[in-house]
Amino acid sequence: MISELLTWLTTGCAPQARKLGYLYEAIAMRARVKRCAVAWKAHCEQAQNFAAQCIQEQEKGGVALVLGSGLGIDLPKEALLAHFDEVWLVDMVHLRESKKAWANHPKVRFIDYDITESLTNLVNGVLTQVQPQNWLDDERIRFVLSANILGQLPVQPLAWLANQKQSYDDELLDQWSQDLLQSHLSYLNSFRAHGARVCLVADLEWQYHENNKLIQSLDPWRGLAYPIPDVRWEWRIAPRGELHNNRTQTNLVGGWCW
């Protein structure tokens, strides 16, 4: 608890990251990574290998933009550093461990940023989706990696809204969540239109098991259709003991290289 409190007090981040719970979740994820290292090993290797293969199809040089860099456990660090002149890591929060993992490499730039560009509206009580525009006019960006964040984009904002005094219609929240995902996909396609290669790693399905029986399956795409992925794999994100009632969670993950 002392370590978590010190991290909370000393981590520099945008006020929204604290208010909406992103800093708290990043600290919790740090502990979860340690607990689940064995169960997550295969997923991290799959994600790293797929992104590295996608990188090899891109000419060397320029900037690699990583959206959802987090703790960096599923990123192909060596491939990114070897292939590009700069690596820009974008997320709401970067803990000390995130920066340490890159060994203060001079090519790496950490950017604390809301990639949805919609959270300012959210905290002001306005559920209006903004189409992200940042970096689209930067011709140096030659590669964009969306690192398994698509399905997570609405999760923390919805959790924050649930604790507010103002209530929102479920249909409105569902539509806002779906719009958030669609805006991210459109954002990635805009980079493609500018000539950058895009690698998308995203959950396809969240499966919950109890006593080895499937009891619930959720759609991270919230009804949006998705193209057939180039690769698929399973991620044992919550092995036995992580969830209550003897439940486990397995995410089905897909990878696309455009």
Q: CATH number of the domain at 2-200, please?
A: 3.40.50
The answer on pLDDT for 5 being more than 80 is: no
Q: 125 pLDDT band (50/70/90 cuts)? A: confident
Q: Which pLDDT does position 28 carry in this prediction?
A: 85
Q: Which pLDDT does position 9 carry in this prediction?
A: 47
Q: What secondary structure does DSSP assign to 134-160, as a single string?
A: TTTT-TTEEEEEEES-GGGTTHHHHHH
Tokens of 225: 């259709």
Prediction pTM value:
0.95
Q: Which pLDDT does position 88 carry in this prediction?
A: 98
Domain residue limits, the chain: 2-200
98 vs 233, higher pLDDT: 233
Burial class (CB in 10 A: 0-12, 13-18, 19+), 177: buried
Q: 234 pLDDT band (50/70/90 cuts)? A: very high
Q: Which pLDDT does position 4 carry in this prediction?
A: 63
Longest dimension (CA), the chain: 52
Q: Which pLDDT does position 1 carry in this prediction?
A: 61
Q: What percentage of residues in the chain have a pLDDT greater than 90?
A: 74
Q: Which pLDDT does position 10 carry in this prediction?
A: 57
Q: Which of 77-86, 181-190, 240-249 shows the lowest per-residue confidence on average (mean pLDDT)? A: 240-249
